[in-house]
Protein backbone atom coordinates (compact mmCIF):
# COMPACT_ATOMS: atom_id res chain seq x y z
CA UNK A 1 0.00 0.00 0.00
CA UNK A 2 -0.25 2.01 -2.09
CA UNK A 3 0.29 -0.30 -5.04
CA UNK A 4 0.08 2.30 -7.81
CA UNK A 5 3.10 4.37 -8.81
CA UNK A 6 1.12 7.53 -9.56
CA UNK A 7 -2.39 9.00 -9.28
CA UNK A 8 -2.86 8.56 -13.03
CA UNK A 9 -2.06 4.85 -12.72
CA UNK A 10 -4.56 4.50 -9.87
CA UNK A 11 -7.22 6.32 -11.84
CA UNK A 12 -6.63 4.11 -14.87
CA UNK A 13 -7.01 1.00 -12.70
CA UNK A 14 -10.29 2.33 -11.29
CA UNK A 15 -11.74 3.16 -14.72
CA UNK A 16 -10.83 -0.31 -16.05
CA UNK A 17 -11.97 -2.30 -13.00
CA UNK A 18 -14.03 -5.41 -13.78
CA UNK A 19 -15.09 -7.97 -11.16
CA UNK A 20 -15.30 -10.60 -13.89
CA UNK A 21 -11.68 -10.00 -14.95
CA UNK A 22 -9.87 -9.28 -11.72
CA UNK A 23 -6.21 -8.18 -11.73
CA UNK A 24 -3.79 -10.97 -10.84
CA UNK A 25 -2.85 -9.32 -7.54
CA UNK A 26 -6.38 -8.46 -6.40
CA UNK A 27 -7.02 -11.51 -4.22
CA UNK A 28 -3.80 -11.05 -2.28
CA UNK A 29 -4.50 -7.36 -1.62
CA UNK A 30 -7.71 -5.79 -2.98
CA UNK A 31 -7.47 -2.59 -0.96
CA UNK A 32 -5.40 -0.45 -3.37
CA UNK A 33 -8.06 -1.12 -6.01
CA UNK A 34 -10.86 -0.23 -3.61
CA UNK A 35 -9.06 2.99 -2.67
CA UNK A 36 -8.60 3.87 -6.34
CA UNK A 37 -12.26 3.22 -7.09
CA UNK A 38 -13.40 5.30 -4.15
CA UNK A 39 -11.10 8.18 -5.10
CA UNK A 40 -11.67 8.26 -8.86
CA UNK A 41 -14.84 6.37 -9.74
CA UNK A 42 -16.86 5.61 -6.58
CA UNK A 43 -19.99 4.58 -8.50
CA UNK A 44 -18.20 2.62 -11.19
CA UNK A 45 -20.00 1.05 -14.13
CA UNK A 46 -18.37 -2.21 -15.15
CA UNK A 47 -18.28 -3.64 -18.70
CA UNK A 48 -21.39 -5.80 -18.11
CA UNK A 49 -23.42 -2.70 -17.20
CA UNK A 50 -23.56 -3.36 -13.46
CA UNK A 51 -22.16 -0.98 -10.85
CA UNK A 52 -19.77 -1.34 -7.94
CA UNK A 53 -19.96 1.24 -5.13
CA UNK A 54 -17.10 1.92 -2.73
CA UNK A 55 -17.97 4.94 -0.54
CA UNK A 56 -19.32 4.33 2.95
CA UNK A 57 -22.16 6.85 2.53
CA UNK A 58 -23.40 5.24 -0.69
CA UNK A 59 -23.24 1.73 0.77
CA UNK A 60 -25.14 2.77 3.88
CA UNK A 61 -27.77 4.59 1.78
CA UNK A 62 -28.32 1.44 -0.24
CA UNK A 63 -28.55 -0.81 2.84
CA UNK A 64 -31.16 1.42 4.48
CA UNK A 65 -33.47 1.72 1.46
CA UNK A 66 -34.83 -1.78 0.91
CA UNK A 67 -37.73 -0.42 -1.18
CA UNK A 68 -35.44 1.02 -3.86
CA UNK A 69 -32.74 -1.66 -3.75
CA UNK A 70 -33.96 -5.26 -3.70
CA UNK A 71 -32.15 -8.30 -2.30
CA UNK A 72 -34.24 -10.70 -4.39
CA UNK A 73 -31.89 -12.50 -6.78
CA UNK A 74 -34.25 -14.47 -9.04
CA UNK A 75 -33.69 -12.26 -12.07
CA UNK A 76 -29.95 -11.94 -11.52
CA UNK A 77 -29.21 -15.58 -10.69
CA UNK A 78 -31.21 -17.46 -13.32
CA UNK A 79 -28.75 -16.73 -16.17
CA UNK A 80 -25.92 -17.77 -13.84
CA UNK A 81 -27.36 -21.02 -12.45
CA UNK A 82 -30.33 -21.99 -14.62
CA UNK A 83 -32.94 -24.34 -13.18
CA UNK A 84 -30.62 -25.99 -10.65
CA UNK A 85 -30.42 -26.72 -6.91
CA UNK A 86 -28.11 -23.72 -6.51
CA UNK A 87 -30.70 -21.41 -8.04
CA UNK A 88 -33.43 -22.72 -5.77
CA UNK A 89 -31.20 -22.41 -2.71
CA UNK A 90 -29.81 -18.94 -3.29
CA UNK A 91 -33.19 -17.48 -4.28
CA UNK A 92 -34.97 -18.94 -1.24
CA UNK A 93 -32.47 -18.15 1.51
CA UNK A 94 -32.95 -15.25 3.91
CA UNK A 95 -30.10 -13.09 2.65
CA UNK A 96 -31.31 -13.04 -0.97
CA UNK A 97 -34.95 -12.24 -0.28
CA UNK A 98 -37.19 -9.29 0.53
CA UNK A 99 -40.13 -9.19 2.95
CA UNK A 100 -42.41 -10.97 3.68
CA UNK A 101 -40.27 -14.17 3.46
CA UNK A 102 -37.23 -12.34 4.78
CA UNK A 103 -39.22 -11.06 7.77
CA UNK A 104 -40.65 -14.47 8.64
CA UNK A 105 -37.34 -16.33 8.54
CA UNK A 106 -35.41 -13.56 10.28
CA UNK A 107 -37.88 -13.46 13.18
CA UNK A 108 -37.62 -17.20 13.65
CA UNK A 109 -33.82 -17.12 13.70
CA UNK A 110 -33.54 -14.00 15.84
CA UNK A 111 -35.94 -15.45 18.41
CA UNK A 112 -33.47 -18.23 19.13
CA UNK A 113 -30.56 -15.77 19.27
CA UNK A 114 -31.80 -13.54 22.05
CA UNK A 115 -29.22 -11.90 24.36
CA UNK A 116 -30.06 -14.49 27.00
CA UNK A 117 -29.66 -17.40 24.59
CA UNK A 118 -26.31 -16.06 23.37
CA UNK A 119 -25.09 -15.56 26.95
CA UNK A 120 -25.99 -19.17 27.69
CA UNK A 121 -23.77 -20.30 24.80
CA UNK A 122 -20.62 -18.91 26.40
CA UNK A 123 -19.86 -21.75 28.83
CA UNK A 124 -20.15 -24.39 26.11
CA UNK A 125 -18.11 -22.26 23.72
CA UNK A 126 -15.32 -21.88 26.28
CA UNK A 127 -15.29 -25.65 26.79
CA UNK A 128 -15.11 -26.23 23.02
CA UNK A 129 -12.31 -23.70 22.49
CA UNK A 130 -10.28 -25.07 25.41
CA UNK A 131 -10.62 -28.59 24.05
CA UNK A 132 -9.39 -27.45 20.63
CA UNK A 133 -6.50 -25.56 22.23
CA UNK A 134 -5.52 -28.69 24.12
CA UNK A 135 -5.37 -30.58 20.83
CA UNK A 136 -3.26 -27.80 19.29
CA UNK A 137 -0.83 -27.99 22.21
CA UNK A 138 -0.44 -31.73 21.77
CA UNK A 139 0.31 -31.29 18.06
CA UNK A 140 2.64 -28.29 18.30
CA UNK A 141 2.70 -27.79 14.51
CA UNK A 142 -0.85 -27.01 13.40
CA UNK A 143 -3.09 -25.48 10.77
CA UNK A 144 -4.91 -22.60 12.45
CA UNK A 145 -7.80 -22.87 9.98
CA UNK A 146 -8.36 -26.61 9.80
CA UNK A 147 -7.50 -27.38 13.42
CA UNK A 148 -9.06 -24.34 15.09
CA UNK A 149 -10.90 -21.54 13.27
CA UNK A 150 -13.19 -23.70 11.13
CA UNK A 151 -14.03 -26.14 13.92
CA UNK A 152 -15.68 -23.53 16.14
CA UNK A 153 -18.60 -22.27 14.00
CA UNK A 154 -19.43 -25.76 12.74
CA UNK A 155 -20.02 -26.85 16.35
CA UNK A 156 -22.00 -23.74 17.27
CA UNK A 157 -24.28 -23.97 14.22
CA UNK A 158 -24.58 -27.70 14.69
CA UNK A 159 -25.86 -26.99 18.20
CA UNK A 160 -28.32 -24.34 16.97
CA UNK A 161 -29.81 -26.75 14.42
CA UNK A 162 -29.54 -29.77 16.71
CA UNK A 163 -27.32 -31.74 14.33
CA UNK A 164 -25.92 -34.81 16.15
CA UNK A 165 -22.16 -34.52 16.70
CA UNK A 166 -21.41 -37.67 14.78
CA UNK A 167 -23.22 -36.28 11.70
CA UNK A 168 -21.39 -32.93 11.44
CA UNK A 169 -18.48 -34.14 9.30
CA UNK A 170 -19.80 -33.03 5.88
CA UNK A 171 -21.11 -29.61 7.00
CA UNK A 172 -18.02 -27.55 6.27
CA UNK A 173 -17.46 -29.07 2.83
CA UNK A 174 -21.09 -28.46 1.85
CA UNK A 175 -20.85 -24.85 3.00
CA UNK A 176 -17.63 -24.11 1.13
CA UNK A 177 -18.97 -25.59 -2.11
CA UNK A 178 -22.28 -23.69 -1.96
CA UNK A 179 -20.70 -20.35 -1.07
CA UNK A 180 -17.96 -20.86 -3.64
CA UNK A 181 -20.64 -20.79 -6.32
CA UNK A 182 -21.39 -17.13 -5.47
CA UNK A 183 -18.17 -15.91 -7.07
CA UNK A 184 -18.50 -13.46 -10.00
CA UNK A 185 -17.04 -16.01 -12.44
CA UNK A 186 -17.54 -19.77 -12.07
CA UNK A 187 -15.95 -22.87 -13.50
CA UNK A 188 -17.97 -25.94 -14.42
CA UNK A 189 -16.31 -27.75 -11.51
CA UNK A 190 -17.49 -25.08 -9.04
CA UNK A 191 -21.04 -25.27 -10.38
CA UNK A 192 -21.10 -29.05 -10.13
CA UNK A 193 -19.66 -29.03 -6.61
CA UNK A 194 -22.18 -26.42 -5.48
CA UNK A 195 -25.17 -28.24 -6.95
CA UNK A 196 -24.03 -31.58 -5.54
CA UNK A 197 -23.61 -29.99 -2.10
CA UNK A 198 -27.14 -28.54 -2.14
CA UNK A 199 -28.62 -31.92 -3.14
CA UNK A 200 -26.73 -33.81 -0.44
CA UNK A 201 -27.48 -31.24 2.25
CA UNK A 202 -31.21 -31.21 1.39
CA UNK A 203 -31.38 -35.00 1.59
CA UNK A 204 -29.76 -34.90 5.03
CA UNK A 205 -31.96 -32.04 6.29
CA UNK A 206 -35.13 -33.83 5.21
CA UNK A 207 -34.25 -36.67 7.58
CA UNK A 208 -33.30 -34.22 10.34
CA UNK A 209 -36.50 -32.12 10.06
CA UNK A 210 -38.75 -35.18 9.93
CA UNK A 211 -37.17 -36.35 13.19
CA UNK A 212 -37.53 -32.88 14.75
CA UNK A 213 -41.22 -32.78 13.92
CA UNK A 214 -41.62 -36.02 15.84
CA UNK A 215 -39.31 -34.86 18.64
CA UNK A 216 -39.38 -31.05 18.91
CA UNK A 217 -36.53 -29.25 20.67
CA UNK A 218 -36.65 -26.23 22.95
CA UNK A 219 -37.88 -23.39 20.69
CA UNK A 220 -35.99 -20.85 22.79
CA UNK A 221 -32.68 -22.44 21.75
CA UNK A 222 -33.33 -24.74 18.81
CA UNK A 223 -33.52 -22.77 15.55
CA UNK A 224 -34.82 -25.72 13.54
CA UNK A 225 -37.77 -26.21 15.90
CA UNK A 226 -38.57 -22.49 15.69
CA UNK A 227 -38.52 -22.59 11.90
CA UNK A 228 -40.82 -25.63 11.85
CA UNK A 229 -43.45 -24.25 14.23
CA UNK A 230 -43.11 -20.53 13.53
CA UNK A 231 -45.69 -18.46 11.69
CA UNK A 232 -45.71 -14.91 10.33
CA UNK A 233 -49.07 -13.31 9.58
CA UNK A 234 -50.69 -16.75 9.70
CA UNK A 235 -48.24 -18.37 7.28
CA UNK A 236 -45.75 -21.16 7.99
CA UNK A 237 -42.67 -21.77 5.91
CA UNK A 238 -43.04 -24.20 3.04
CA UNK A 239 -40.86 -27.31 3.11
CA UNK A 240 -38.52 -25.77 0.52
CA UNK A 241 -38.22 -22.51 2.45
CA UNK A 242 -37.55 -24.40 5.67
CA UNK A 243 -34.82 -26.65 4.28
CA UNK A 244 -33.10 -23.98 2.20
CA UNK A 245 -32.92 -21.59 5.13
CA UNK A 246 -31.36 -24.28 7.30
CA UNK A 247 -28.62 -24.44 4.66
CA UNK A 248 -28.38 -20.65 4.78
CA UNK A 249 -27.88 -20.67 8.55
CA UNK A 250 -24.90 -22.98 8.22
CA UNK A 251 -23.42 -21.03 5.33
CA UNK A 252 -23.92 -17.60 6.88
CA UNK A 253 -22.40 -18.55 10.20
CA UNK A 254 -19.64 -20.90 9.09
CA UNK A 255 -17.50 -19.20 6.47
CA UNK A 256 -17.63 -15.68 7.88
CA UNK A 257 -16.77 -16.72 11.45
CA UNK A 258 -13.98 -19.02 10.29
CA UNK A 259 -12.57 -16.07 8.38
CA UNK A 260 -12.98 -13.73 11.35
CA UNK A 261 -10.91 -15.99 13.62
CA UNK A 262 -8.30 -16.84 10.97
CA UNK A 263 -7.95 -13.22 9.85
CA UNK A 264 -7.54 -12.11 13.47
CA UNK A 265 -4.73 -14.58 14.16
CA UNK A 266 -2.93 -13.68 10.93
CA UNK A 267 -3.36 -9.90 11.22
CA UNK A 268 -2.03 -9.79 14.77
CA UNK A 269 1.18 -11.39 13.52
CA UNK A 270 1.46 -8.70 10.84
CA UNK A 271 0.99 -5.97 13.45
CA UNK A 272 3.14 -7.14 16.39
CA UNK A 273 2.87 -3.82 18.27
CA UNK A 274 -0.92 -4.13 18.26
CA UNK A 275 -0.66 -7.76 19.32
CA UNK A 276 1.55 -6.73 22.23
CA UNK A 277 -0.89 -3.95 23.12
CA UNK A 278 -3.79 -6.39 23.19
CA UNK A 279 -1.80 -8.84 25.28
CA UNK A 280 -1.04 -6.10 27.80
CA UNK A 281 -4.65 -4.95 27.94
CA UNK A 282 -7.15 -7.80 27.31
CA UNK A 283 -10.00 -5.32 27.96
CA UNK A 284 -9.42 -4.24 24.34
CA UNK A 285 -10.61 -7.64 23.05
CA UNK A 286 -14.07 -6.44 22.02
CA UNK A 287 -12.74 -3.46 20.08
CA UNK A 288 -10.04 -5.70 18.58
CA UNK A 289 -12.70 -8.05 17.18
CA UNK A 290 -14.56 -5.07 15.67
CA UNK A 291 -11.30 -3.88 14.13
CA UNK A 292 -10.65 -7.27 12.52
CA UNK A 293 -14.17 -7.16 11.08
CA UNK A 294 -13.44 -3.71 9.63
CA UNK A 295 -9.84 -4.19 8.55
CA UNK A 296 -10.26 -7.61 6.92
CA UNK A 297 -14.00 -7.93 6.35
CA UNK A 298 -14.91 -11.63 6.17
CA UNK A 299 -17.60 -10.85 3.60
CA UNK A 300 -16.15 -8.33 1.14
CA UNK A 301 -18.98 -7.91 -1.37
CA UNK A 302 -22.76 -7.73 -1.38
CA UNK A 303 -25.36 -7.22 -4.10
CA UNK A 304 -28.64 -5.42 -4.79
CA UNK A 305 -30.96 -4.77 -7.76
CA UNK A 306 -32.54 -1.39 -8.46
CA UNK A 307 -36.34 -1.73 -8.50
CA UNK A 308 -37.29 1.91 -9.26
CA UNK A 309 -35.33 4.57 -11.15
CA UNK A 310 -33.11 6.43 -8.70
CA UNK A 311 -29.88 8.35 -8.20
CA UNK A 312 -27.08 6.89 -6.07
CA UNK A 313 -23.91 8.83 -5.33
CA UNK A 314 -24.89 11.36 -8.00
CA UNK A 315 -25.26 8.67 -10.68
CA UNK A 316 -28.71 8.00 -12.26
CA UNK A 317 -29.72 4.33 -12.18
CA UNK A 318 -32.51 2.51 -13.93
CA UNK A 319 -34.90 -0.18 -12.73
CA UNK A 320 -33.12 -3.53 -13.15
CA UNK A 321 -29.59 -2.20 -12.73
CA UNK A 322 -27.37 -4.47 -10.61
CA UNK A 323 -25.11 -3.12 -7.87
CA UNK A 324 -22.17 -4.71 -6.06
CA UNK A 325 -21.60 -3.27 -2.59
CA UNK A 326 -17.88 -3.16 -1.83
CA UNK A 327 -18.17 -3.69 1.93
CA UNK A 328 -14.41 -3.91 2.31
CA UNK A 329 -13.98 -0.55 0.55
CA UNK A 330 -16.58 1.17 2.73
CA UNK A 331 -14.81 -0.18 5.80
CA UNK A 332 -11.62 1.63 4.78
CA UNK A 333 -13.25 4.93 3.83
CA UNK A 334 -11.09 7.65 5.43
CA UNK A 335 -14.16 9.85 5.93
CA UNK A 336 -15.22 7.49 8.73
CA UNK A 337 -12.01 5.65 9.62
CA UNK A 338 -8.94 7.85 10.16
CA UNK A 339 -5.76 6.21 8.89
CA UNK A 340 -7.92 3.39 7.49
CA UNK A 341 -5.06 1.11 6.46
CA UNK A 342 -3.75 0.97 10.00
CA UNK A 343 -4.86 -1.91 12.22
CA UNK A 344 -5.80 -0.44 15.62
CA UNK A 345 -7.11 -2.82 18.30
CA UNK A 346 -8.51 0.11 20.28
CA UNK A 347 -10.23 1.90 17.38
CA UNK A 348 -13.35 3.74 18.45
CA UNK A 349 -15.80 4.67 17.10
CA UNK A 350 -15.89 1.85 14.60
CA UNK A 351 -19.19 1.83 12.70
CA UNK A 352 -18.09 -0.73 10.14
CA UNK A 353 -20.47 -2.42 7.70
CA UNK A 354 -19.11 -5.95 8.06
CA UNK A 355 -22.54 -7.12 9.23
CA UNK A 356 -24.40 -4.92 6.70
CA UNK A 357 -27.06 -2.48 7.91
CA UNK A 358 -30.79 -1.86 7.73
CA UNK A 359 -33.31 -4.72 7.52
CA UNK A 360 -30.60 -7.11 6.33
CA UNK A 361 -28.21 -6.52 9.21
CA UNK A 362 -26.78 -9.93 10.13
CA UNK A 363 -29.11 -11.80 12.49
CA UNK A 364 -26.21 -13.81 13.91
CA UNK A 365 -23.71 -10.99 14.36
CA UNK A 366 -23.60 -11.24 18.14
CA UNK A 367 -22.98 -14.98 17.96
CA UNK A 368 -20.06 -14.30 15.61
CA UNK A 369 -18.72 -11.63 17.97
CA UNK A 370 -18.92 -14.03 20.89
CA UNK A 371 -17.15 -16.80 18.96
CA UNK A 372 -14.43 -14.41 17.82
CA UNK A 373 -13.86 -12.95 21.28
CA UNK A 374 -13.70 -16.27 23.14
CA UNK A 375 -11.51 -17.88 20.47
CA UNK A 376 -9.03 -15.04 20.35
CA UNK A 377 -8.72 -14.26 24.05
CA UNK A 378 -8.23 -17.89 25.06
CA UNK A 379 -5.87 -18.62 22.16
CA UNK A 380 -3.63 -15.65 23.02
CA UNK A 381 -3.62 -16.53 26.72
CA UNK A 382 -2.54 -20.09 25.88
CA UNK A 383 -0.16 -19.40 22.98
CA UNK A 384 1.20 -15.83 23.23
CA UNK A 385 4.24 -16.68 21.10
CA UNK A 386 2.56 -18.54 18.22
CA UNK A 387 4.14 -17.99 14.82
CA UNK A 388 3.62 -18.96 11.21
CA UNK A 389 5.41 -22.09 10.04
CA UNK A 390 5.08 -22.09 6.29
CA UNK A 391 3.34 -20.10 3.60
CA UNK A 392 -0.29 -19.16 4.30
CA UNK A 393 -2.73 -20.20 1.58
CA UNK A 394 -5.31 -17.49 0.96
CA UNK A 395 -8.76 -18.41 -0.31
CA UNK A 396 -8.91 -17.57 -4.03
CA UNK A 397 -12.36 -16.01 -3.75
CA UNK A 398 -13.21 -12.32 -4.11
CA UNK A 399 -16.46 -12.33 -2.12
CA UNK A 400 -15.14 -13.93 1.07
CA UNK A 401 -11.72 -13.01 2.49
CA UNK A 402 -9.87 -15.56 4.52
CA UNK A 403 -7.40 -18.42 4.39
CA UNK A 404 -7.59 -22.03 3.30
CA UNK A 405 -4.55 -22.82 5.44
CA UNK A 406 -2.47 -21.06 8.09
CA UNK A 407 0.42 -23.37 9.09
CA UNK A 408 1.79 -22.41 12.50
CA UNK A 409 3.75 -23.45 15.54
CA UNK A 410 1.97 -22.81 18.83
CA UNK A 411 4.47 -24.17 21.33
> Which residues are paired to 388 by β-bridges?
408
CA angle 273/397/178 to nearest 5° reads 125
Q: Of 318, 326, 323, which Cα lies nearest the Cα of 354? A: 326
Count other Cβ atoms within 10 Å, centred on residue 345.
26
pLDDT of residue 278: 98
Residue-wise DSSP of 212-262: HHHS---TTT-HHHHHHH-EETTEEPPHHHHHHHHHHHHHHHHHHHHHHHH
User: ω before 206 within 30° of 0 (cis)?
Assistant: no
| Cβ atoms of residues 131 and 374 within 8 Å | no
Whole-angstrom distance, CA of residue 251 vs CA of residue 168? 14
Whole-angstrom distance, CA of residue 140 vs CA of residue 411? 5
Count other Cβ atoms within 10 Å, centred on residue 61.
18
Count other Cβ atoms within 10 Å, centred on residue 296.
23
| Cβ atoms of residues 378 and 124 within 8 Å | no
Q: Of 94, 63, 70, 72, which Cα lies nearest the Cα of 330? A: 63
Whole-angstrom distance, CA of residue 327 vs CA of residue 34? 10
CB-based contacts of 61: which residues, under 8 Å, 6+ apart?
Answer: 312, 313
What CATH class has 42-409? mainly alpha
pLDDT of residue 251: 82
Torsion from C-alpha of 103, 105, 111, 113, nearest 10 degrees:
-110
| Cβ atoms of residues 372 and 355 within 8 Å | no
Residue-wise DSSP of 240-252: HHHHHHHHHHHHH
pLDDT of residue 63: 96
Along the chain (411 residues), what's the average pLDDT of each consecutive run of 10 residues? Answer: 86 97 96 98 98 98 95 91 94 85 77 80 94 97 97 90 91 91 91 96 94 89 83 76 86 89 98 98 97 97 96 98 98 98 98 93 90 97 97 95 97 79
pLDDT of residue 149: 97
| Cβ atoms of residues 4 and 32 within 8 Å | yes
| Cβ atoms of residues 56 and 328 within 8 Å | no
According to DSSP, residue 113 is labeled: S
Q: Of 98, 165, 128, 122, which Cα lies nearest the Cα of 304? A: 98
Whole-angstrom distance, CA of residue 288 vs CA of residue 271? 12
Amino acid sequence: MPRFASPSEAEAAARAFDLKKLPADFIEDPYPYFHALRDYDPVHRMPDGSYIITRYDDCETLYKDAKTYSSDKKIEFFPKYGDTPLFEHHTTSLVFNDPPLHTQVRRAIAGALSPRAIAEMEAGLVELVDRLLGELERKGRVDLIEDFASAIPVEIIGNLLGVPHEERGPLRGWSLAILGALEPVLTEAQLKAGNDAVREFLAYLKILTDDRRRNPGDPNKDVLTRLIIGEHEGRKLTETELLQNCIFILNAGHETTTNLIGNALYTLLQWPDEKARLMRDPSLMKTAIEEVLRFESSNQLGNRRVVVDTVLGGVPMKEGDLITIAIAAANRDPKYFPDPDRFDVGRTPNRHLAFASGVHVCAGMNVARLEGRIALERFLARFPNYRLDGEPVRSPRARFRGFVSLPAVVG
